[in-house]
Amino acid sequence: MSDRLEEDTVSFRVENRIAWVYFNRPEKRNCMSPKLNRQMLRTIEELEFRDDVGVLILAGEGSAWSAGMDLKEYFRENEHKGIGAVRQAQREAYSWWERLRWFEKPTIAMINGWCFGGAYGPLFACDLAFAAQDAQFGLSEINWGILPGGGASKVAAELLSFRHAMYHAMMGENLTGTQAAEWGLVNEALPADKLEARVLEVANVLLAKNPTALRSTKFAVRRVREMTYDNAEDYLIRAQESANSFDGEGRKEATRQFIDEKAFKPGLGAYDLSKKS
């Protein structure tokens, strides 16, 4: 097939408050070209503040989630053009991973197949990750003579134990989805034909939670990783107080439903968002 237009490198649909976003270069195993990176940033920015979107799911068309950076269009072609082109391509890639890390609504990676190298950037950017048991995860960089850059080494060091991160980065062997779940790279691995249903189930649970609380919770968990205990405690007090002034009614209503109405128990599920005191 001839080269895809930039706008065709990503596809999405919004259904029942869930944005299903797809890497859409299946013929190239969804590897990330500059065109795809630019289109993904546009897509994410378009979806972030839509009222009809409460959760974003990132999946891949065809047999891959994403086969990492495009060795031809991202690396080789830009290296031929010079350092300016290399830096621009890096910024285009890193900027959408960063937007996704700090996306204001919950994000879920649904890893249906191959997931290599640079794809660990968006993998980590998603708050939750679910994989097909037979998906393949690899830091294949070592197999073609580079280090796992573009954040990939950092993702391995963040999500895996030291020994697992070293083994994964140095050996160039793939993990199945099942192993990736055992090692903590993803939350769960499921049979491929059950993957979408499970991701949908998780998305619907998230949609029933207070969106302001979800936003501050996901940011808090990411931010406190690099703080001392005391700094985290202070940050979390301020984050909650700021969330209260942004949307203080939610927790008051939840307290009313629990204490006065005895209609729900926070330990067993979420309060009814549709009721307002």
| Residues within the interface to ligand ACO (CB under 6 A) | 28-29, 31, 63, 67-72, 114, 116-118, 140-141, 150
Residue tagged 């197949």 (tokens): 113
Shortest Å, Cβ 60 to ligand ACO: 11
Give the separation between CA 116 and CA 136, rounded to whole angstroms. Answer: 8
Shortest Å, Cβ 157 to ligand ACO: 16
User: Among candidates 180, 187, 181, 73, which has minimal Cα distance to 137?
Assistant: 180
Shortest Å, Cβ 144 to ligand ACO: 6
Burial label, 251 (beta-carbon count in 10 A; 0-12, 13-18, 19+):
middle
User: Residue 63 or residue 133: which is nearer to ligand ACO going by CB?
Assistant: 63
Shortest Å, Cβ 92 to ligand ACO: 14
Query: Which residues are CB-neighbours of 82 under 8 A, at least 6 positions away?
Result: none
Give the separation between CA 7 and CA 177, rounded to whole angstroms. Answer: 30
Torsional sign, CA 91, 111, 49, 46: positive
CB atoms within 10 A of CB 275: 12
CB atoms within 10 A of CB 273: 14
Contact 127, 219 (CB under 8 A): no
Shortest Å, Cβ 119 to ligand ACO: 7
User: Residue 75 or residue 258: which is nearer to ligand ACO going by CB?
Assistant: 75
User: Residue 106 or residue 113: which is nearer to ligand ACO going by CB?
Assistant: 113
User: Residue 147 or residue 221: which is nearer to ligand ACO going by CB?
Assistant: 147
Shortest Å, Cβ 179 to ligand ACO: 17
User: Residue 29 or residue 105: which is nearer to ligand ACO going by CB?
Assistant: 29
Residue 60 CA to its chain's centroid (Å): 13
Give the separation between CA 110 and CA 191, rounded to whole angstroms. Answer: 12
Shortest Å, Cβ 38 to ligand ACO: 17
User: Residue 42 or residue 76: which is nearer to ligand ACO going by CB?
Assistant: 76
Give the separation between CA 152 and CA 175, rounded to whole angstroms. Answer: 15
User: Residue 66 or residue 257: which is nearer to ligand ACO going by CB?
Assistant: 66
